[in-house]
Amino acid sequence: MGVSLLSTFTSLVNVPSLTISTTPTIRCPSNAVVIRCNKMDTDVPGENVLRRREVLKCFGASVGMELLASSGSFVEMASAADLIQRRQRSEFQSSIRQTLSAAIKGKPELIPYILTLALNDAITYDKATKSGGPNGSIRLSSEISRPENNGLSAALNLIEEAKQEIDSYSKGGPISFADLIPFAGQSAVKATFLASAIRKCGGNIEKGSILYSAYGSSGQWGLFDRQFGRTDSQEPDPEGRVPQWGKATVQEMKDKFSSIGLGPRQLAVMSAFLGPDQAATEALLATDPDITPWVQKYQRSRETVSQTDYEVS
């Protein structure tokens, strides 16, 4: 920002003799904005001298006018910078998804374990202490080795390999596991949606892709974008916050989901996150009267062409 003080007050450059004519007012040029400085009578006979306080008032007002006049360009510059930043962020996230999608496509058998990994990293959140949550702590050896995370190491290895590639083209430094693990979960979920569409097209990949593009739900993926930029925890989350899903009772699952503000509906729709066999998990959940309606709702939805209810939820 440049404020030209001399151009604003060309008449004030010669400071030693600040006098004005006997006309009622004097005009001080300020980029087509007129500031009137009132004449002040002094006790010097025959002269009208501009008092110092009035000079400062005139000076300050002119500077303020220049700032107001130039504020529009600053708003435009800020808006342009914001748009550029958003575009770069969007392009980077798109590249992340492409890298993860390619990695998952190469090892589709790891999809259920990626989903459980993402869930177990996030569900350590404790409302009372506001600790835990999706902070990447599951990558630490002392946490990934816990019983509830048994069998998830291969999924973590896939994410670590993808991270190396992502870091190689990242212009803003390494991506955190706290960001990457939820992104991997997102990519895994989308992969299940696409696979379902391909099955409904008799295994034809091209037709299945068209079907998913036409009817597949984009979900609320914007949530990931808004939360992008989290830092990794350097300490493992406290033990005992994640059930062993394969051994937990339905009530234990309900209690855990309830502790983080989720209910029977969310438990039903996330059945694919609770173990490698979604059908077996849903059969168990359906024994609970609170969850049964939701399990049935999403099973019916998955039988439709678009799976809208299931995919959106």
Per-residue confidence at 4, pLDDT binned at 50, 70, 90?
very low
State residue 72's pLDDT score.
61
- Quick count: other Cβ atoms within 10 Å of Cβ 253? 22
pTM of the entire predicted model: 0.71
Structure tokens at 145: 């080795």
User: How far, in Å, are 92, 160, 232, 265, 303 from residue 168 at the CA level?
Assistant: 12, 13, 19, 40, 41
Q: What pLDDT, in 10s, does the model give residues 185-198?
A: 999 998 998 888 89
pLDDT at residue 8, rounded to an integer: 39
pLDDT tens-digit readout, 144-202: 999 999 999 999 999 999 999 999 999 889 999 999 999 999 999 989 988 888 988 89
The one-letter amino acid code at 301 reads S
Average pLDDT over residues 95-123: 95
Residue 132 pLDDT exceeds 80: yes
249/255 Cα distance (integer angstroms): 10
Contact of 136 with 121, CB cutoff 8 Å: yes
- Alpha-carbon distance 100 to 186, whole Å? 10
CA distance linking residue 247 with residue 195, whole number of Å: 28
Token representation of residue 64: 């303020």
Distance CA 258, CA 256 (A): 5
Q: CB-based contacts of 67: which residues, under 8 Å, 6+ apart?
A: 3
Instruction: Give the separation between CA 309 and CA 313, rounded to whole angstroms.
Output: 6
Query: How big is the chain, counted in residues?
Result: 313
- Report the SS3 class of residue 26: strand
Q: Residue 19 has what DSSP assignment? A: B
The model's pLDDT over 208-265, given as tens digits with 9 standing for 90+, comes to 888 877 766 554 555 555 567 889 999 999 999 999 999 999 999 999 999 988 999 9
The rounded radius of gyration (Å) of the Cα atoms in the chain is: 32
Q: What is the pLDDT of residues 27-62, one digit of tens each?
A: 444 444 444 444 444 444 444 555 555 655 655 655
Per-residue model confidence (pLDDT) at position 169? 93
Average pLDDT value over all residues in the chain: 80
Residues 6+ apart with CB under 8 A from 78: none
96 versus 69: which is more confidently predicted? Answer: 96
CA 137 from centre of chain: 19
Per the rule left: phi > 0, alpha: psi between -120 and 50, beta: everything else, 307 is: left
Whether 111 and 192 have beta carbons less than 8 Å apart is answered as: yes
Instruction: Report how far apart, in Å, the C-alpha atoms of 121 and of each of 91, 178, 197, 268 are.
Output: 26, 9, 29, 19
Taking a C-beta distance cutoff of 8 angstroms, is the pair 294, 265 a contact?
A: yes
What phi and psi, each to the nearest 5 degrees, are found at residue 123? -80, 5
pLDDT at residue 56 in the model: 56
- pLDDT score, position 272: 93
| Residue 28: predicted pLDDT | 46
Closest CA to 209 of 195, 222, 192: 195
What kind and span of H or E run contains 193?
helix 177-200
Burial category of 114 from C-beta neighbours within 10 Å (exposed 0-12, middle 13-18, buried 19 and up):
buried
Of the pLDDT bands very low, low, confident and very high (cuts 50, 70, 90), residue 112 is very high
* Interatomic CA distance for residues 185 and 98, integer angstroms: 13
Mean pLDDT to the nearest integer, 95-115: 94
